[in-house]
Amino acid sequence: MAKPASYTYLTDNEWDRKTAELDRIASSCGLCPRRCNVNRLSGERGFCGAPGGLVISSIFPHHGEEPPISGSGGSGTVFFTHCTLKCLFCQNYQISHLAERRPYTPSELAGKMLSLQSMGCHNINLVTATHFLPWVVRALKEAAACGLMVPVVYNCGGYELASVMSLLSGIVDIYLPDMKYGGNAPAERYSQAPDYATVNREAIREMFRQVGPLRSDESGIAYRGLCIRHLVLPDGVAETQAVVDFLTSAFDPHDLYISLMAQYRPLHRAEEFPEINRRVTAEEYEPLRQKFIKAGFGGFYQDVSLMNDKFIIDFKKRKSERLAED
C-alpha cells in the first residue's frame, strides 16, 4: 500500500496557520509575482482576473501526463481557470478560456478530490492553482480529514514566488513546474512576465528544497519529488540553453528529471508572431534533447514525428532516458 502523502501528517494548527498566512497574502494580493495588492478575499480582481473563490474548468482522471504521474489509474486533475501568465501561444487555451467553468466551494472541491481517489487516481494534480491557494488549501484540509491520502502534484507555469511556495511545504509532495524561458526578455514578449526567469529560478530552488529528486514506488508511480517541464519553442525563442546552464550550475543533474516537450502548436495569438507561427522541427528538438541527456538529467522526451493534432498529447509516447542507462 502506498505511503500516505505528507499532508496527512499535518495538524489542524499547521493547516490553520498556512491558510491564515495565505489569507493575509491574498487580502492585498501577492500570491504571485505580479503583486497586484487587490483584496481577493473581498472579490477584487487583479491581473489574473480571478475572483474571490474557486473557479474550475475541468476535473478528470488524466491519462496523458508523464508515466510516473498518470500511471495506470490516471492523475486526478483539477484544472483551474484564470492563469497568472498571459502566454500568447497558450497551449491550454481551449481548456483555460473556452471550456465550461464554474465556481466551486472548498467543500465541493474536497468532495471531488475524494471521488478522484476513489476512482483509482494516483494523485491530485492541481493545474495552475497559485491564484486560488487560500481556497485550495482549505479544500485539501477538508479532504484530508475525510480520508484523502494520495499525493498532491503542484502542476504550474513556474511563475511563482518562492515565499508562497514555502507555505506548501508539507502539503505538496510532487512539483511539476514549467521553466518556460531561460531569460526574461522572451518572457516579457510572449507572456507579459518580464521577471519570469528570475523568479522562476528561485521557485525551482524552493521546490527542490522541499521535495528533492523525483522518486517512484515499486509500481513506477511517483510519490515525491520535482520534475521540471520545458516546452521547446520554434526559432529558439525559449532560450533553452540558458535553462540547461542554470540547472547544471544550481543542481546535480542526476538529481533532476526534465520533461522536454515537443508538442508546441501555434495556438491562440501565435499567428501574430511569425517566428513562433509554426511547429517545432526535429532538427530543433533533437540537439536540445541531447544537451539534457549529456548533462546527466533524467528525462521524459517526446518524438517530434509523433506529434499530431490531438488536443491532449499522449505522454505514453514518452520514454524515460538517462544517458548512463542507454
36 makes contact with ligand SF4 (CB under 6 A): yes
Any residues with CB less than 8 A from the CB of 51 and at least 6 apart, and which?
A: 40, 43, 45, 103
Residue number, 40 or 224, with CB nearest to ligand SF4? 40
For 188, half-sphere exposure in the C-beta direction (CA atoms, 13 angstrom radius) is 6
Write the DSSP symbol of residue 178.
Answer: B
Residue 227 C-alpha cell reads as: 520534475
Closest CA to 153 of 131, 134, 129: 129
- C-beta of 31: minimal distance to ligand SF4 in Å? 4
143 makes contact with ligand SF4 (CB under 6 A): no
The window from 39-47, 51-59, 145-153, 226-234 that contacts ligand SF4 (CB under 6 A) reads 39-47
29 makes contact with ligand SF4 (CB under 6 A): yes
- C-beta of 19: minimal distance to ligand SF4 in Å? 16
The window from 29-37, 105-113, 184-192, 241-249 that contacts ligand SF4 (CB under 6 A) reads 29-37
Query: How many CB atoms sit inside 10 A of residue 67's CB?
Result: 17
193 makes contact with ligand SF4 (CB under 6 A): no
Coil, helix or strand at residue 116? helix
| Of 5, 10, 22, 50, the one binding ligand SF4 by CB under 6 A | 50
113 makes contact with ligand SF4 (CB under 6 A): no
Number of residues this chain uses to bind ligand SF4 (CB under 6 A):
15
- C-beta of 132: minimal distance to ligand SF4 in Å? 8
Distance between CA atoms of residues 154 and 113, nearest Å = 14
Query: What is the C-alpha radius of gyration for the chain, rounded to an integer number of angstroms?
Result: 19
Residue 142 C-alpha cell reads as: 477538508
Residue number, 164 or 244, with CB nearest to ligand SF4? 164
Query: How many CB atoms sit inside 10 A of residue 220's CB?
Result: 11
**Which residues lie near ligand SF4 (CB under 6 A)?**
29-32, 34-36, 38, 40, 46-48, 50, 84, 131
